[in-house]
Structures are given as structure tokens and as C-alpha cells.
């Protein structure tokens, strides 16, 4: 027998006792919430054909996907994301279902990160996808469900809401190359306004000014909307998006979620994945978003489907570290007395579980 290796591949870890219990407990609570709100669960294989993630709206870097081949030599991938597999199931096995389809899932995803980035390569991701239906209604359903999920983790949480199209409508009509547009998106996504003057000194100065202002348009919805309308002036497409966001935010006014919502017009995507509403959830104690989602109608179209869609995913692996679950103390069941031990153990189980039949 060879020497057992004590080390794990980069980005992976063992979960021991309370850590494993915390993940399972949070995962079960989230799934019960989804079911209570009318979502129905699905599971997809860990292995998918690579083509499921290799399409014109590629939103996952090829380098970050773990790839291997099957016995037929076909290229397969460890699931790097849950949205594309859900779409595959919907379009292959649920295409005659009644819409909207409200789907929930909880299963691991795998990303091949550069070692020094210190990111997890395996993450338990829980989430929902809503396929079809009225866009405004399903956006609200998606936002409400995300807020309800964050609330389960305590009172100190926030949900940032924005629109993926706002930046593009704002700079439409200005002379700017696609490369400059992508560079601006990257810097804005990183909130790195200091890098603009070095990387983008040839960019249209008006566009550059707008790009610098957008990350600052973050905070109370009422105050942000006032400043944003002054910035966009008579840009009708941008004003229309602001009207939509105002309607969304006002819908939560007077509820316990009102002060949990932040309007962030600086939310941009480096890759054109989302096509409208976008949002990110944060909880105190974790320095990055634990929940992210939005509307992705164009992704559905890249699969050849004329359907609307929105959803979100939650990083259960990170979030569970804040929701540590102690393992309950139980009596030490002895099996030294043979048949009497079995009877005593059964009495104990029946006393705490009731009917244990499926």
C-alpha cells in the first residue's frame, strides 16, 4: 500500500464535524424555503458535455472549466455552473411544461482557479431559476426570494440592485470602441476608478466622466435616483431604466426589506450575461457577495429558446461559515446487551423521529 497523501488539490478542503453539519443545515433550510415558495427541485449530473457551456454567450472562462473525455473521446466538463444545465433540462425534457417554470437546485459547482487566487475550486451552490412568465412579476419573485434567503442568515444583510443595460444606454451614441467599452466594464466592476486615466486616456472624455460617476451612484434608492436623473438628463433609454428600478424599489417600501435594499447603478458585467435586472447579496462578516443573480433572456436565446429567464445562486460553502451549527449531544447508545440494546436504540429513535417510514 502506497503512502497516503496528506494534501488536497488547490481550492479544495475537508469539512469536519460542525463544518459539515453547518453546510447541511443551511442547505436544508434554503431548500425548504424554496419549496414553501412554490419552487420545484431538480438535480443534474456532475458531468455535462462541454458544449453545454461552450456557446456564443460564453460567460465562464474556458480555462476555469475542468475538462476530461469520456470513453467515446467526447469532451465533458465538471459542472462549473448550474444555470446552463437547468436550461438544458428545460429545453430537452420540460419544453411542453406550463410556464413560468419555478425551479430550485442545490449542488456543487467546480471552477479551476489559478492557485494563488486562493479561491475555492468546489462550491456548494443553492439557487433558483424562473423560466418564462411575466418579466416584472418574476423579477419581483426573484428579488423577494433572495431577500428571504439572506434573512435566514441574520439581520445584517443587504441586497444591491442595478441594471446590466444602464451603462450601455448611457454611453450609446458616443464614439467608443468595443475594446474600450470592455476595459471600462472591467475597471467599473472592480470599482477601480484610479485606473481609468492610465488605461483609457484615449477614451472619449464624456464617456470617461460618466464611467467615473457610475460607481458612486450607490446607496439609498431615493437619493441615487435623484443624482442619476441629473446625470442622464434627456437620455430616454437610461431614464426608462431608472423608472423601472424606482418601481422595483418602491414595491418593497413599507416592508421589513425596505432598508435592506441598496441601489447600485455601477453594477456592470464584464461578460454580457445579464440583460436587465441584476442584484448581489451581502452579509456582515463576508467581504464579497454571497448571492448574485439577475435576468438573462439573451442566454436563453443563445440556446435557441425565445423565453425570458431570471434567477440567482447562493454560495452555501462561504455562507455556512457564518451559520455554524453545533452537533446536538445524544446519549451514548451502547450495544453491549445484544437484543435489549437494539430495542433500546429503536425506542430512542422512535421517540425523537416518530414514524421513520418513507
For 96-136, the pLDDT digits (tens) are 999 999 999 999 999 997 655 668 899 999 999 999 999 99
Amino acid 109: pLDDT: 97
For 163-183, the pLDDT digits (tens) are 999 988 988 877 777 777 777
Sign of CA dihedral 210, 312, 125, 322: positive
Query: Can you give the pTM of this predicted structure?
Result: 0.91
Asked if residue 141 has pLDDT above 90, the reply is yes
Q: What is the mean pLDDT of residues 214-240?
A: 94
Amino acid 355: pLDDT: 58
Task: Delimit the CATH 3.30.930.10 region(s) of the chain.
Answer: 9-155+303-327
> Can you list the positions of beta strands (E) in the chain?
40-41, 47-49, 67-69, 75-78, 101-110, 122-131, 157-163, 218-219, 261-264, 277-283, 291-295, 309-315
Asked if residue 197 has pLDDT above 60, the reply is no
| Cβ–Cβ under 8 Å, residues 130 and 307 | no
Amino acid 203: pLDDT: 63
CA 192 – CA 39 distance, rounded (Å)? 38
Amino acid 331: pLDDT: 81
Asked if residue 147 has pLDDT above 70, the reply is yes
In this structure, CATH architecture of domain 9-155+303-327? 2-Layer Sandwich (3.30)
Least confident of 99-103, 119-123, 327-331, 345-349: 327-331
Amino acid at each position: 500500500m502506497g503512502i497516503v497523501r496528506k494534501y488536497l488539490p488547490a481550492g479544495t478542503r475537508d469539512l469536519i464535524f460542525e463544518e459539515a453539519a453547518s453546510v447541511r443545515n443551511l442547505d436544508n433550510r434554503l431548500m425548504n424555503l424554496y419549496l414553501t415558495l412554490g419552487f420545484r427541485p431538480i438535480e443534474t449530473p456532475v458531468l455535462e458535455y462541454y458544449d453545454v457551456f461552450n456557446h456564443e454567450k460564453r460567460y465562464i472562462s474556458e480555462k476555469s472549466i475542468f475538462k476530461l473525455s469520456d470513453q467515446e473521446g467526447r469532451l465533458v466538463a465538471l459542472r462549473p455552473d448550474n444555470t446552463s444545465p437547468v436550461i438544458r433540462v428545460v429545453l430537452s425534457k420540460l419544453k411542453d411544461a406550463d410556464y413560468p417554470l419555478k425551479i430550485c437546485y442545490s449542488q456543487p459547482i467546480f471552477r479551476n482557479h489559478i492557485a494563488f487566487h486562493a479561491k475555492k475550486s468546489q462550491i456548494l451552490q443553492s439557487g433558483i431559476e424562473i423560466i418564462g412568465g411575466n418579466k416584472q412579476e418574476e423579477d419581483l419573485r426573484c428579488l423577494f426570494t433572495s431577500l428571504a434567503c439572506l434573512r435566514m442568515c441574520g439581520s445584517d444583510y443587504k441586497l444591491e440592485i442595478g441594471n446590466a443595460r444602464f451603462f450601455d444606454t448611457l454611453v450609446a451614441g458616443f464614439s467608443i470602441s468595443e475594446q474600450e467599452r470592455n476595459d471600462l466594464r472591467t475597471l467599473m466592476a472592480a470599482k477601480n476608478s484610479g485606473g481609468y486615466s492610465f488605461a483609457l486616456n484615449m477614451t472619449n472624455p464624456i464617456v470617461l466622466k460618466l464611467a467615473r460617476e457610475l460607481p458612486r451612484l450607490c446607496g439609498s434608492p431615493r437619493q441615487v435616483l435623484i443624482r442619476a436623473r441629473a446625470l442622464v438628463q434627456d437620455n430616454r433609454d437610461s431614464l426608462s431604466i431608472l423608472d423601472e428600478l424606482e418601481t422595483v424599489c418602491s414595491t418593497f417600501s413599507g416592508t421589513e426589506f425596505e432598508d435592506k435594499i441598496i441601489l447600485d447603478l455601477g453594477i456592470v458585467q464584464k461578460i454580457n450575461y445579464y440583460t436587465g435586472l441584476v442584484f448581489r447579496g451581502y452579509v456582515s462578516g463576508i467581504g464579497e457577495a454571497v448571492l448574485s443573480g439577475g435576468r438573462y433572456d439573451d442566454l436563453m436565446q443563445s440556446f435557441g429558446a425565445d423565453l425570458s429567464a431570471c434567477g440567482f445562486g447562493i454560495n452555501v460553502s462561504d455562507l455556512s461559515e457564518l451559520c455554524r451549527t453545533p452537533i446536538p449531544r445524544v446519549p451514548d447508545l451502547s450495544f453491549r446487551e445484544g437484543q435489549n440494546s437494539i430495542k433500546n436504540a429503536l425506542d430512542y429513535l422512535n421517540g425523537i423521529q416518530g414514524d421513520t417510514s418513507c
